[in-house]
Amino acid sequence: MIAAIWNVRGINKPLKRRKILSFARQNHVSFFALLETRTTPTKLDKIIKGIFPSENVFVDFNTIRNGRIVLVWNSHKVDCTILDVSAQCIHCALKCKTSNKIFQCSIVYGLYSVVERRQLWNKLMELNPQSNVPWLVCGDFNVVKCPEEKQGGVIPSNYFTKDFVDCCSSLGLSDAPSIGNFFTWTNGRVKAKLDRVLSNALWTGSSFNCWVDFKDFDCMSDHCPIIIKMFNSQESINRPFKFFNMWLTHPKFKQILLDTWTMNIHGSRQYTFVRKLKALKAPLKILNKEDFGHISEKALAANSAYNDFLHSADFNEDSEDNRIVLQGLRSKALFLAEAERQFISQKLKLKHLIDADKSTKYFHDLVKKSNKDRSITCILDQHGIPTTSLTQVGALFIRAYLEARVKGDRVNSISFRMAPKFLCLSNIF
């Protein structure tokens, strides 16, 4: 399940609406919380239906002024039940239809003053689930937890942060694991972490996993968009075992194979063969993890170590130690570079991946060349003169077809010449 939160700072401009739709589609968002939409009920209905025509929408203008919090969700993927609505928070129960997991979520938009935000902290204390229910609290809190979460401007005092810190401590809320931007808001002079995703202890205790991605800032808003991915990594299906050819080049491979194949297993030959193959999996997985894991990074690091030693070593002295170390670094770099090439070649199933361009420019150049080789670049007309004009080519095919229809014969093939490259046309004229 993928959720998103974004303080869009107004939703009335068509350019911003297109950006929101593009963001939701690119990230496959199934639950979207839009903050600070700055619109009216009449406008919002038309705007949201224009962006998400088949989605469910909730907003309470009677309680939340100017559409400060708007919830949009895909009913095919998520069930959303609104439990409570207040001026600074919408509390709901969510059910992911893919994983059948249920949790509660509070979408927050904190007001600007310390006194007004105290109503939010009190509301969160009331909403604290009494039963064993995992709980997420996320949104724009408009306050930081500590001075380190603000850069530039006036340093926040304990008076501004104490209420928020005490609320999180009382409720057992902590920041969910995250990547991306640390600061989530900026006005060009000051940066601060105003937006965050908090989870309670039951979230971790229930083996619920989630991580947060604070995306890069967009010119459409001074807040960065937030992506929350839930129930993904721990619920993935076990990957099937794959044998990589690069393992054959490792010095330990023969010994691993010999140790496994000399095991004493009683049974038929087929049974013995299958058991030995299964027993070989575990040591090969360990070998792959220890010596071939993140092979591209290891190959790059080995080559860098070789170059660093070349620049730092003193070769004026006839040192045998330097030559031994250099030879070892070079051998390691070559071994890992060849292992990376074999890994990429096998993974992408390209027989001619000589330069190991990882199926990018090299791969597309092969496709373009293949298409060009199979294209008809010119044909011969009835006088045997070659032509490359698309208009004339079409006219010649139509003429040949009509002549065949008049004669009552089958359509005869028109004589044409294929050139693998356009430069070969010079040989025709």
| Spatial separation of the C-alpha atoms in residues 374 and 416, rounded to whole Å | 13
Dihedral over Cα of 238, 243, 244, 246: its sign: positive
Rounded mean pLDDT of 294-312?
A: 85
pLDDT score of 356: 47
| Spatial separation of the C-alpha atoms in residues 320 and 335, rounded to whole Å | 22
55 and 73 Cβ atoms separated by less than 8 Å: yes
Q: What CATH number belongs to 2-235?
A: 3.60.10.10
| Angle at the Cα of 123 from the Cα atoms of 119 and 124, rounded to 5 degrees | 120
Candidate ranges 308-317, 352-361, 392-401; pick with highest mean pLDDT: 392-401
Strand ordering across the sheet containing 150-151: 150-151, 191-192, 185-186
Domain boundaries, the chain: 2-235, 245-348, 375-427
pLDDT score of 360: 58
| Spatial separation of the C-alpha atoms in residues 110 and 89, rounded to whole Å | 8
127-149 pLDDT, tens digit per residue, is 887 667 889 999 999 999 999 99
pLDDT score of 90: 93
pLDDT score of 408: 62
Rounded mean pLDDT of 299-324?
A: 78
pLDDT at 76 over 70: yes
195-253 pLDDT, tens digit per residue, is 999 988 887 666 677 889 999 888 889 999 999 998 764 444 456 788 888 888 888 89
83-132 pLDDT, tens digit per residue, is 999 989 999 999 988 888 889 999 999 988 999 999 999 999 998 876 67
17-62 pLDDT, tens digit per residue, is 888 888 988 888 999 999 988 888 778 777 887 788 778 888 877 7
Q: What is the mean pLDDT of the chain?
A: 81
Distances (CA, A) of 403 to 54, 201, 313, 411: 55, 83, 82, 8
Rounded mean pLDDT of 327-348?
A: 84
| Spatial separation of the C-alpha atoms in residues 285 and 66, rounded to whole Å | 57
| Spatial separation of the C-alpha atoms in residues 150 and 128, rounded to whole Å | 28
Distances (CA, A) of 260 to 244, 271, 280, 390: 18, 15, 6, 66
394-428 pLDDT, tens digit per residue, is 787 788 778 777 766 554 444 444 333 333 333 43
pTM, two decimal places = 0.55
pLDDT at 355 over 70: no
246-283 pLDDT, tens digit per residue, is 888 888 899 999 998 898 888 888 988 989 898 898 89
